[in-house]
Amino acid sequence: MDGTLFLGIIEFIVLLLSLSVHESAHAWTANALGDPTARYLGRVSLNPIRHADLMGTVIFPLLGMVSGVMFGWAKPVPVNVNRLRNPKRDHMLVAAAGPFSNLLIAGALFLLLMILKLSSGEAAEMIRYVSASAAYGSMPHGNGIATPLMLMAFYGVWINIILAVFNLIPVAPLDGAAVLAGLLPNGLGRVVNQFQSYGFVILVLLLVTGAAAQLYTPVLNVVLSLLIV
């Protein structure tokens, strides 16, 4: 199999699972805080089919396998804010649950890689090699199942950091908009919400100009430096 295609398939699998965890975390938190809407719709689930969006979960990631830039999203979890026990606070917590779940995955996998790296010289050399190769888009060579497992762990860290940081940008429809609204006093929150009608335009500008990437790239660089040192 072509190396680029193999890397793309691994990235696609990791993205699919990461999006499922993200949306399931929203649904689980909403249900725990009083709104069972998402649970009734079967969204408290790690089954990717429950969260799949044709364009965001299938078409865009598949195009990313060809272009080398993996990007995607899942169906938003419906939340009835009026059913939450404390609407303002709980809506913020529901929104934050998605990015927080991605940070947990990234942190757990990074910790696993660092423990393996410290466990033996052979494991350390493999992690350095796989991380450096994957970060720069080249297929690492190796026999057995160890290499693809290392790749999945690396991309699990990489993709979940991007998802967490990107979704915390305080621009609608991203989770960061609801988190910011929940943190601000009511009056100021309403003022900020008035600008959210331009959220899609602002988001497109952030993506096109590369400004969004500047938010998570420094974090990725730190992680990469720790893995390949």
Give me the active site residues, please: 23
CA 223 to chain CA centroid, Å, is 16
Q: Give the other-Cβ count within 10 Å of 112's Cβ.
A: 13
- Tokens 């762990």, residue located: 153
Which parts of 117-205 are beta strand (E)? none
Q: At what angle do helices 87-119 and 146-167 cross, to 10 degrees?
A: 150
Q: Which two tokens stand for residue 122?
A: 């052979």
For 188, residues 6+ apart whose C-beta sits below 8 A from its C-beta are none
Q: Coil, strand, or helix at residue 35?
A: coil
For 212, residues 6+ apart whose C-beta sits below 8 A from its C-beta are 166, 169, 203, 206
Of residues 27, 19, 229, 2, the one with CA closest to residue 138: 2
Question: Cα–Cα distance between 114 and 226 in angstroms, integer?
Answer: 8
